[in-house]
């Protein structure tokens, strides 16, 4: 047995990202990887995308690295931020669990730092989008914000005192799984009665399809858009029909707003934010949704009439928020 000590390779030092420099943001979804170079003002200078090989973690990392290399070959970039749908540890490096990407304890940050030679920050995708709205979007200048991403489910991001609330283990702001109806509808998380089962885009579509089957005369516009088939109604169709005055579609937004406003009132009792920002696909309904949600929120707020009331706004950055927020968070480290 050789008794000589084996020399240990010195770890490669990677410089920290600097304020005022370009950064790459990557939004990792179940079907696509969208990446862009972002300037300090939150503007995407250039972008690229790759398909997500979601069933193969190693190939997903390869696709991320390939997209980033394409961007850094043309621009002097100081850091990389990754937004992933899943649980990210408190060190913002390891994806503990990502249901749509087959990642389990994936050391994503460390691996990509070694491959790219740049500092890498990993963040939950909803947190990244929330940060973008606070820095460059609807919540500019506000230090206490709750961002709700209303899509298939309900994602959340919370900023308090100008900092993202991550929690002890990095898993905070999973607001879509607040128990809003005890023993209610089954949720994909394994529990029953979660908020997103009642206040999400999926819930909106389910309500619309039921309305169209039960009261087709009141849902004429939704059914026209869906080719006469209630089961073919989509969220975009519900929004378009509501804007056109379809009675059933408007009722669906009333129902959605009821659940969203009530949940926001509960969050306000705990967090006391200065602003709520509604993001995600359902936010395309704009003022039609915002005004309804705000009315329900105000009616259910504890101490109504005796306290300041949070502003309710629609997000401004749309699908760019994930890229912009992830890139900016790489500078904040």
Least confident of 68-72, 83-87, 182-186: 83-87
pLDDT of residue 10: 36
pLDDT of residue 20: 56
User: Has residue 4 got a pLDDT over 80?
Assistant: no
> Using 50, 70 and 90 to split pLDDT, how confident is the model at 101?
confident
pLDDT of residue 326: 97
pLDDT in tens, 207-234: 999 999 999 999 999 999 999 999 999 9
> Using 50, 70 and 90 to split pLDDT, how confident is the model at 54?
confident
Secondary structure in 3-state letters for the chain:
CCCCCCCCCCCCCCCCCCCCCEEEEEEECCCEEEEEEECCCCCEEEEEEEECCCCCHHHHHHHHHHHHHHHHCCCCEEEEEEEECCEECCCCCCEEEECCCCEEEECHHHHHHHHHCCCEEEEEHHHHHHHHHHHHCCCCCCCCEEEEEECCCEEEEEEECCEECCCCCCCCCCHHHCECCCCCCECCCCCECECHHHHCHHHHHHHHHHHHHHCCCCCHHHHHHCCCCHHHCCHHHHHHHHHCCCHHHHHHHHHHHHHHHHHHHHHHHHHCCCEEEEECHHHHHCHHHHHHHHHHHHHCCCCCCCCCCCEEEECCCHHHHHHHHHHHHHHHC
User: Has residue 7 got a pLDDT over 60?
Assistant: no
pLDDT of residue 232: 98
> Using 50, 70 and 90 to split pLDDT, how confident is the model at 18?
low
Average pLDDT over every residue of 97-123: 91
> Using 50, 70 and 90 to split pLDDT, how confident is the model at 5?
very low
Go through the domains of the chain in sequence order and give each one's CATH number. Answer: 22-132+321-332 (3.30.420.40), 142-315 (3.30.420.40)
User: Has residue 145 got a pLDDT over 50?
Assistant: yes
User: Has residue 134 got a pLDDT over 50?
Assistant: yes
Average pLDDT over every residue of 34-40: 97
Mean pLDDT of the chain: 91
User: Has residue 9 got a pLDDT over 80?
Assistant: no
């Amino acid at each position: 047995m050789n008794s000589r000590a084996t020399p240990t390779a010195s770890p490669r030092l990677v410089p920290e990202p600097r304020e005022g420099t370009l950064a790459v943001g990557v939004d990792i979804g179940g079907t696509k990887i969208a990446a862009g170079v972002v300037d300090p003002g939150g503007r995407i200078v250039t972008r690229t995308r790759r398909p997500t090989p979601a069933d193969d973690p190693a190939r997903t990392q390869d696709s991320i690295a390939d997209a980033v290399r394409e961007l850094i070959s043309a621009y002097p970039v100081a850091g990389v931020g990754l937004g992933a749908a899943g649980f990210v540890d408190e060190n913002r490096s390891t994806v503990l669990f990502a249901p749509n990407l087959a990642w389990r304890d994936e050391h994503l940050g460390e691996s990509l730092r070694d491959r790219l030679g740049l500092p890498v920050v990993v963040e939950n995708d909803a947190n990244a989008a929330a940060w973008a709205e606070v820095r460059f979007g609807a919540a500019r200048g506000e230090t206490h914000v709750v961002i709700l991403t209303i899509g298939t489910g309900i994602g959340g991001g919370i900023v308090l005192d100008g900092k993202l609330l991550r929690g002890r283990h990095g898993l905070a702001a999973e607001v879509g799984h607040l128990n809003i109806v005890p023993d209610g509808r089954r949720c994909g998380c394994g529990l029953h009665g979660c908020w997103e089962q009642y206040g999400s885009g999926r819930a909106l579509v389910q309500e619309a399809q039921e309305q169209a089957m039960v009261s087709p005369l009141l849902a004429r516009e939704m059914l026209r858009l869906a080719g006469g088939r209630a089961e073919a109604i989509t969220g975009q169709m519900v929004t378009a029909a509501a804007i056109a005055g379809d009675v059933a579609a408007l009722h669906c937004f009333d129902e959605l707003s009821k659940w969203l406003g009530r949940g926001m009132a509960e969050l306000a009792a705990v967090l006391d934010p200065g602003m709520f920002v509604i993001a995600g696909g359902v936010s395309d309904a704009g003022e039609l949704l915002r005004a309804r949600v705000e009315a329900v929120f105000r009616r259910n707020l504890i101490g109504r009439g005796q306290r300041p009331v949070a502003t309710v706004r629609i997000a401004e950055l749309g699908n760019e928020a994930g890229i912009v927020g992830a890139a900016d968070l790489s500078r904040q480290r």
